[in-house]
Amino acid sequence: MNDVFNLNRWLLYIGKHWNENKRKYGLSLSAIGGLLVLWFSFLMLTNKRHPLNEEIQAITYYVGLYLTGTLYASLIFSELGEGPKAIHYLMMPASILEKLLSAILYGVVLFFVCYTIVFYAVDFIMIKVANGFISGEMERQHLPFRPMELVNVFVGRNGNPVIFYMLLMYFAAQSVFLLGSVYFVKFHFIKTLVAGLIVFLILVFFVHKVLDSFMPNGGFFEPFTVYRAYDPVHGEVMVQLPEWLSSIMLFLMKYSLAPCLWVVAYFRLKEKEV
C-alpha cells in the first residue's frame, strides 16, 4: 500500500472525519445563517427603502466570507495543540498528505460551497420579506417601488475584475490561517493575524523604502510588468518585461500563493511533534 497517498484509505478517512464532525459543521453553518438573519434584520430596521441593495448584499457576502473563512481555517488543526487529541490525530492510520487534503477539502472547498449556499438561502428569504414590507409601505405613501433582487456575488459590474481578485485574495488569506493553525499551538487566529500583519508591513517597507531607492524616478505602470521612468533628457521612458515572462509572473502571482502555502503546511505537518 502506498504510504504517501491511497485513494481508498483517503475516502475512509474523509468518511471518518465527517462522522466525527458533522454535528459541529451543521451547528457552525446554522450559526452563520443566524448571524446573517440578524444582520439583514438590522438593515431592514435601519433602512426602510433599500435595506438589501446589491452593494450591501455583496459586501455582506465577502465580509462574512473573510471573517468566517479565516476563523474556520485557523481551527482546522487546532487539535494539534492538545496533547491527547494531537497524539490521536498523528497516530491515525492515514498519511500526512491525506490528512492535509482532507483539511483542504473540508476547510477550503466545502466551506466555501456551503457558506455560499447558506448565504443565498438566507439572502433569498430576507429579500422576499423586505420586498413585502417595503412594497406595502410604498403603496401607502403612493411612491414608486422597485423590488430588490439577488446579487451575483461572483460577477462585478461591467465585467469589473475586482470581484475575481477578492476571491483570489480570500483563498490566499485562508491558506495563511490554515498554515497558522499548524505552526501555532494556542490562539491560532490571533497569532496568525499578528504574524501576517507584521510580514505585510515588512514587505511594504521593503518595497517602498528599499527597492525604491534603487529604482529611477518613476513608477510601475502595470503591476510588476511595465515601469514608467522619467528621464530629464529623454522624457518618459517605458521599460517592459517580455510578454511571455510577464504572463508567467502574473499567473504565478494570481494562482500559486495558496498552493505554495499548502505545500509549506504539508512539510510543517510532517515535522509536527507532540
Q: Please provide the DSSP assignment of 5-45 as one string.
A: --HHHHHHHHHHHHHHHHHHHHHHHHHHHHHHHHHHHHHHH
Cα radius of gyration rounded to whole Å, the chain:
24
The residue among 114, 108, 91 whose CA lies nearest residue 25 is: 114
- So what's the pLDDT on residue 206? 79
Q: Are 160 and 54 in contact (CB under 8 A)?
A: no
Phi, psi (degrees; rounded to nearest 5) at 91: -85, -5
The total number of residues shown for the chain amounts to 274
Cα 261 to the chain's mean position, in Å? Answer: 13
- So what's the pLDDT on residue 70? 92
- So what's the pLDDT on residue 106? 92
CA distances from 90 to 3, 60, 74 (A): 14, 38, 18
Q: Are 78 and 148 in contact (CB under 8 A)?
A: no
- So what's the pLDDT on residue 274? 55
- So what's the pLDDT on residue 52? 83
- So what's the pLDDT on residue 220? 67
Q: Is the dihedral of CA 200, 202, 208, 211 positive or negative?
A: negative
Q: Tens digit of pLDDT per residue, the chain (274 long)? A: 567 888 899 999 999 889 988 898 999 999 999 999 999 999 888 877 777 888 889 999 999 999 999 999 888 888 777 767 777 777 888 888 999 999 999 989 999 999 999 999 999 999 988 888 777 666 666 666 677 788 888 886 666 667 888 888 999 999 999 988 888 878 888 888 898 899 888 888 877 777 666 666 766 666 667 777 776 766 677 777 777 777 787 888 888 889 999 999 899 888 876 5
- So what's the pLDDT on residue 173? 92
